[in-house]
C-alpha cells in the first residue's frame, strides 16, 4: 500500500470518528429521544449486551446459514443455466423470454407465495436468496461465455479441440473475470434477500430481529442489529473480493 492510499484510509477512519462524535453530541445535547435516534454509546451498549449474553448468536448463525445456502444454490444453478444457455442456441431461444419476464418481477414480491409453498422459516428465505443470486450469475456467465474473442475460438478449432475442451479450457477461463463480477453482485444482493426475506417469513435471523425490535420499540437494539448486518455484509463482500483477486492472479500479474 502506498502513502496516498494509507492517508486516504486514515482520513475515512477519521471521518467516521468525527461523525460518531457529532452524532453522540447531538443526541446528548439536543435531547433527542432514544426511541428516535439513540446515541452511539447506547447502541454500542446494546450491541455488547446482545453479543455477551449470547442473544445475537443464534440469529447471526441463522442469517449466515441462509445467506450461505441461498448464495451457493443460486450461484450453482445460475452458473449452470448460464453455461447451458451460452452453449445451446435452442435453450437460449426457448428460455430467454422467461428469463427476461422473471427479471422484471421484483423477487421479494414472491415471498408471500414462497411462505405458502415452503412454510414460514428458513426454507422460504433460502429460496428467495437463491432466486435473487441466480440472475446476476446467469446473466454474467451467459455474456462472458459468448464474448470470447473470435481469434481464440479459431485457434481452438485450428488445434482440433472438442466442444468440451473449448468450454473448459477456453470459454470458462476467459469468461472468469465476468463471472466473478456477477458473483460480487450476487453476494450483495443475497444479503438483501436474506434479511428482507426474514422480515416477512421468519422468526429467527437478523431480519426478524429488526422487525421484533420495531415491535418492542427498542431502537438501540434495531441499530445494533443493523450494525451486525453491515458487518456481515462487509465480511462476505471482502471474502468475495479476496477470492476474486486470488483466482484472477494470473490474469492481472504484469511484472
Partner 1 sequence: MSFLALRGVGYTFPGWPAVVQGVDWTVGEGEFHCLVGRSGCGKTTLLKLAAGLLHPDQGRITFQDAELTAPGPGLGFVFQSPTLLEWCRVIDNVLLPVSLQRRPDPRAADRAQWLLGQLGLAAHARHYPRQLSGGQQSRVALARALILEPALLLLDEPFAALDAITREELQDDLLHMSRERGTTVLFVTHDIAEAVYLADRVAVMDGGRIVEQVGIDLPRPRSAATRTSEAFVRRCAQVRAAMHMDLVAA
Site size for partner 1, by CB under 8 A? Answer: 23
Separation CA 161–CA 164 (nearest Å): 8
Q: Which is nearer to partner 1, 165 or 214 (CB)?
A: 165
252 binds partner 1 (CB under 8 A): yes
| Residue 100 vs 159, nearer CB to partner 1 | 159
Nearest approach, Cβ of residue 139 and partner 1 (Å): 22
Contact letters (x/-) for partner 1, 153-172, by CB under 8 A? -xxxxxxxx---x---xx--
Rounded CA-CA distance 198/204 in Å is: 7
> Is the separation of the CB atoms in 240 and 185 below 8 Å?
no
Neighbours of 58 (CB within 10 A): 12
Distance CA(47)–CA(175), nearest Å, equals 43
Nearest to 249 by CA among 182, 176, 186: 176
Residue 31 engages partner 1 in binding (rule: CB under 8 A): no
Decide if residue 106 touches partner 1 (CB under 8 A).
Answer: no
Distance CA 196, CA 5 (A): 35
Comparing CA positions, the residue from 131, 144, 145 lying closest to residue 75 is 131
250 binds partner 1 (CB under 8 A): yes
Residue placing its CB nearer to partner 1 in the complex, 106 or 250: 250
- Among the residue ranges 51-59, 74-82, 90-98, 151-159, the one whose residues contact partner 1 (CB under 8 A): 151-159
Using the contact rule CB under 8 A, the part of the chain among 4-12, 77-85, 120-128, 145-153 near partner 1 is 145-153
Q: Which residues lie below 8 Å from residue 112, measured CB to CB, with a gap of 6+?
A: 200
Q: Which is nearer to partner 1, 109 or 158 (CB)?
A: 158
Minimum CB distance to partner 1 smaller for 68 or for 178:
178
Contact 200, 115 (CB under 8 A): yes
At closest approach, how far in Å is the CB of 250 from partner 1?
5
**Distance between CA 130 and CA 152 in Å, rounded?**
34
> Which one among 57, 149, 163, 203 touches partner 1, defined by CB under 8 A?
149
Of 77, 76, 96, residue with least CA distance to 86: 96
Nearer Cβ to partner 1 (129/141): 141
Provide the minimum distance between the beta carbon of 248 and partner 1 in the complex, in angstroms, as a whole number. Answer: 8
| Contact residues for partner 1, defined by CB under 8 A | 149, 151-152, 154-161, 165, 169-170, 173-174, 176, 250-255
Amino acid at each position: 500500500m502506498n502513502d496516498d492510499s494509507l492517508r486516504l484510509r486514515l482520513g475515512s477512519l477519521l471521518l467516521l470518528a468525527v461523525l460518531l462524535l457529532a452524532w453522540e453530541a447531538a443526541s446528548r445535547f439536543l435531547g433527542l429521544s432514544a426511541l428516535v435516534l439513540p446515541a452511539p454509546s447506547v447502541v454500542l451498549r446494546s450491541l455488547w449486551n446482545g453479543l455477551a449474553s449470547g442473544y445475537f448468536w443464534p440469529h447471526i448463525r441463522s442469517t449466515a446459514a441462509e445467506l450461505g445456502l441461498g448464495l451457493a444454490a443460486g450461484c450453482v444453478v445460475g452458473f449452470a443455466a448460464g453455461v447451458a444457455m451460452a452453449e445451446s442456441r435452442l435453450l437460449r431461444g426457448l428460455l430467454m423470454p422467461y428469463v427476461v419476464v422473471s427479471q422484471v418481477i421484483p423477487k421479494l414480491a414472491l415471498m408471500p407465495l414462497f411462505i405458502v409453498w415452503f412454510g414460514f422459516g428458513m426454507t422460504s428465505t433460502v429460496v428467495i436468496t437463491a432466486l435473487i443470486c441466480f440472475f446476476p450469475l446467469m446473466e454474467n456467465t451467459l455474456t462472458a461465455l459468448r464474448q470470447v474473442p473470435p481469434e481464440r475460438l479459431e485457434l481452438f478449432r485450428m488445434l482440433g479441440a472438442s466442444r468440451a475442451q473449448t468450454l473448459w479450457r477456453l470459454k470458462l477461463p476467459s469468461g472468469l473475470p465476468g463471472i466473478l463480477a456477477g458473483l460480487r453482485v450476487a453476494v450483495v444482493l443475497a444479503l438483501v434477500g436474506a434479511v428482507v426475506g426474514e422480515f416477512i417469513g421468519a422468526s429467527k435471523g437478523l431480519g426478524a430481529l429488526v422487525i421484533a425490535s420495531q415491535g418492542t420499540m427498542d431502537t438501540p437494539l434495531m441499530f445494533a442489529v443493523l450494525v451486525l448486518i453491515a458487518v456481515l455484509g462487509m465480511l462476505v463482500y471482502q471474502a468475495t473480493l479476496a477470492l476474486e483477486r486470488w483466482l484472477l492472479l494470473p490474469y492481472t500479474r504484469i511484472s
